[in-house]
Amino acid sequence: LKDRTSRVLGFAEQPISLFENQATILFATPDKSTGLRWRTHIKPLVPFALLQKPLCETLSAMAKIATPDAFVIALDASAPEEGLRLLAEIRARATTRHCGVLVVLENDRSDTLIDALDLGANDVMAHGFDPEEMAVRLSSIVKHKRFRDGLRRNVQEGLEAAVTDPLTGLFNRRYALPHLKRIAEFSSRTKRDFAVMVADLDHFKAINDRYGHVAGDRVLEVLSGRLRDTLRPVDLLARIGGEEFLIVLPATDRATARNMADRLCRVINREPVHIQKSDIQIPVTVSIGVAMASDHSSTGEISGTALLDHADRALYGAKSTGRNQVTL
């Protein structure tokens, strides 16, 4: 496959015989090092691979190999419905949704052409396969796709940054409070108890004063990791203040919550935080206040913020009676 200046864009492993099958698919991924050259995910040594298999097999193969920057060329054959169905599937699946798709039609079929564009083809060749035309259209798809991918990445990164605490990588307050609200609503509906905890490091100001802010930051990072590793994937962990963490355990009873809070206390003070640069060991403890939804919802409903308030009061109890402990 060459472009107008006879630059080679890609190679087929075997002669591309179009329109013999119901639907034929070529996979291609642009090779970053050479720009417009193409490589395939199926056989790394062969820039194009030709798949001539039944549609369902092809689709499951696609799901496995397709990366978001893969390109698919769906070649419509004697039965355009097959090609269009394939296109619809490509656009419906998360793994292939953002592929660049060029549909090649056997001959002048304006009805199929419109359907293909409507289903999300990036471009259509309406007059059959012509290598030079394909090369030009592919180049243009690649260019536009790179631009769109860049935009999408920026949006994703922006959204992520807005809800993430940069020091610890945990969720921040902006994410945590609406999430807590959703868990509270879900729990009222499903009548499942859940737990809200506030964990606050003990005498953290003294750690900063004694070892410096940089060491203090490192302590926050390390302890955040310990908390995350101890909690279950469904539990929410967020940094909602300087040295203060919100933990929400959905669908959890009192005994389990108490157990988890005790474990969190232990993983924090089990071993001191080692600061590599200055080779010092900083012992840290944490106090945790826990509030169970069932203790505060005689009417069956409780707001997330009210529970957070109760957890805060419990935390105050843990602090004033000696720290390094859980109050439930």
- Write out the residues near Mg ion by the rule CB under 5 A: 200-201, 204, 243-244
Checking phi first, is residue 324 left (phi over 0); if not, alpha (psi -120 to 50) or beta?
left
**Does residue 243 carry a catalytic annotation?**
yes
- Please report how close the Cβ of residue 44 comes to ligand GH3 at its closest, in angstroms: 46
- DSSP H helices in the chain: 55-65, 80-92, 110-118, 131-163, 173-190, 204-211, 213-230, 254-269, 304-320
Q: Which of 157, 243, 244, 271 is catalytic?
A: 243
**Other C-beta atoms lying within 10 Å of the C-beta of residue 64:** 10
- String of contacts with ligand GH3 for each residue 243-272, x by CB under 6 A: x-----------------------------
Does the footprint of ligand GH3 cover residue 208 (CB under 6 A)?
Answer: yes
Residue with tokens 């689709």: 59
- Please report how close the Cβ of residue 320 comes to Mg ion at its closest, in angstroms: 12
- Please report how close the Cβ of residue 259 comes to ligand GH3 at its closest, in angstroms: 23
Q: Which residue, 19 or 204, has its beta carbon nearer to Mg ion?
A: 204
- From the list 97-105, 194-202, 252-260, 306-314, the region that binds ligand GH3 by CB under 6 A is 194-202
Residue with tokens 């390094």: 324
Taking each helix axis from N to C end, the angle separating 173-190 and 304-320, rounded to the nearest 10 degrees, works out to 110
Size of the site for ligand GH3 (CB under 6 A): 15
- Please report how close the Cβ of residue 98 comes to ligand GH3 at its closest, in angstroms: 37
Residue 311 interacting entry, from ligand GH3, Mg ion, none, C-beta within 5 to 8 Å by type: none
Residue 244 interacting entry, from ligand GH3, Mg ion, none, C-beta within 5 to 8 Å by type: Mg ion
Q: How far is residue 52's CA from residue 58's CA, in Å, rounded to a whole number?
A: 8
DSSP H or E stretch at residue 290 = strand 286-292
Q: Which residue, 37 or 323, has its beta carbon nearer to ligand GH3?
A: 323
CB 29 within 8 A of CB 158: no
Look at residues 144, 134, 79, 132 and name the one whose alpha carbon lies nearest to residue 102. 134
CB 220 within 8 A of CB 170: no
Does the footprint of ligand GH3 cover residue 200 (CB under 6 A)?
Answer: yes
DSSP classification of residue 285: -
Does the footprint of ligand GH3 cover residue 202 (CB under 6 A)?
Answer: yes
- Please report how close the Cβ of residue 212 comes to ligand GH3 at its closest, in angstroms: 8
At 129, is the secondary structure helix, strand, or coil?
Answer: coil
Does the footprint of ligand GH3 cover residue 165 (CB under 6 A)?
Answer: no
Residue 208 interacting entry, from ligand GH3, Mg ion, none, C-beta within 5 to 8 Å by type: ligand GH3
CB 25 within 8 A of CB 49: no
- From the list 117-125, 145-153, 204-212, 263-271, the region that binds ligand GH3 by CB under 6 A is 204-212
**Other C-beta atoms lying within 10 Å of the C-beta of residue 171:** 18
Does the footprint of ligand GH3 cover residue 210 (CB under 6 A)?
Answer: no
Taking each helix axis from N to C end, the angle separating 204-211 and 213-230, rounded to the nearest 10 degrees, works out to 140
Does the footprint of ligand GH3 cover residue 216 (CB under 6 A)?
Answer: yes
List active site positions: 243
Chain contacts with ligand GH3 (rule: CB under 6 A): 200-205, 208, 213, 216-217, 220, 242-243, 319, 323
